[in-house]
């Protein structure tokens, strides 16, 4: 499952990529919102994970541009601990879910799975 991760480069990002890959995701990482926007517009992604706290860059602008462009892939935004305002703003701009850092990889995977189930409902059981 193809996943785009837009986040600063630091040790936790490498750990996040490895954790997602261990759960079966094919992760493409970029650390620049302009590159993230370009990749999101030119490739199909099952899900986009966006770090709202990237240094020197406004991740909210990226989210707004993604939705204005018609990018339908679900977006999960990672926010700073207890940054309720960033979470609310992200949801208003079209995020499908938000998750405060720090978090366990299992929680992010569960949220990704839940978001994907909402947009691709399971077949009814006979």
Q: Mean pLDDT throughout 72-84?
A: 93
Check pLDDT > 70 for residue 124.
Answer: no
CATH of the domain at 17: 3.40.50.2300
Check pLDDT > 90 for residue 90.
Answer: yes
Does residue 125 lie in a domain region?
Answer: no
List, as one string, the DSSP characters of 41-59: HHS--SEEEEETT-TTS-H
Q: Mean pLDDT throughout 100-124?
A: 87
Check pLDDT > 70 for residue 126.
Answer: no
Does residue 83 lie in a domain region?
Answer: yes
The tokens for 73 are 């892939």
Does residue 124 lie in a domain region?
Answer: no
| pLDDT tens profile 3-58 | 999 998 787 889 999 999 999 999 999 998 889 889 998 899 999 999 988 877 78
| pLDDT tens profile 13-24 | 899 999 999 999
Cα-Cα end-to-end distance for the chain: 27
The domain of 30 spans 2-119
Does residue 126 lie in a domain region?
Answer: no
Does residue 41 lie in a domain region?
Answer: yes
Percent of the chain with pLDDT over 90: 64
- Predicted pLDDT of residue 49: 96
Q: Kindly provide the residue ranges of all beta strands, DSSP E only, lying in the chain, ordered along the sequence.
A: 2-6, 26-30, 47-51, 75-79, 97-100
Does residue 113 lie in a domain region?
Answer: yes
Structural domains of the chain, count: 1
Does residue 105 lie in a domain region?
Answer: yes
């Amino acid at each position: 499952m193809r996943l785009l991760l837009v986040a600063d480069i630091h040790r936790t990002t490498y750990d996040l990529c490895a954790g997602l890959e261990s759960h079966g995701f094919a992760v493409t990482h970029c650390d620049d919102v302009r590159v993230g926007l370009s990749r999101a517009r030119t490739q199909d992604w099952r899900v986009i994970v966006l770090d709202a706290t990237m240094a020197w860059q406004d991740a909210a602008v990226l989210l707004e541009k993604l939705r204005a462009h018609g990018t339908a892939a679900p977006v999960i935004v990672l926010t700073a601990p207890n940054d309720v305002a960033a979470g609310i703003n992200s949801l208003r701009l079209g995020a499908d879910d938000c998750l405060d850092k720090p978090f366990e990889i299992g929680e992010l995977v569960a949220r990704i799975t839940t978001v994907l189930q909402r947009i691709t409902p399971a077949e009814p059981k006979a």
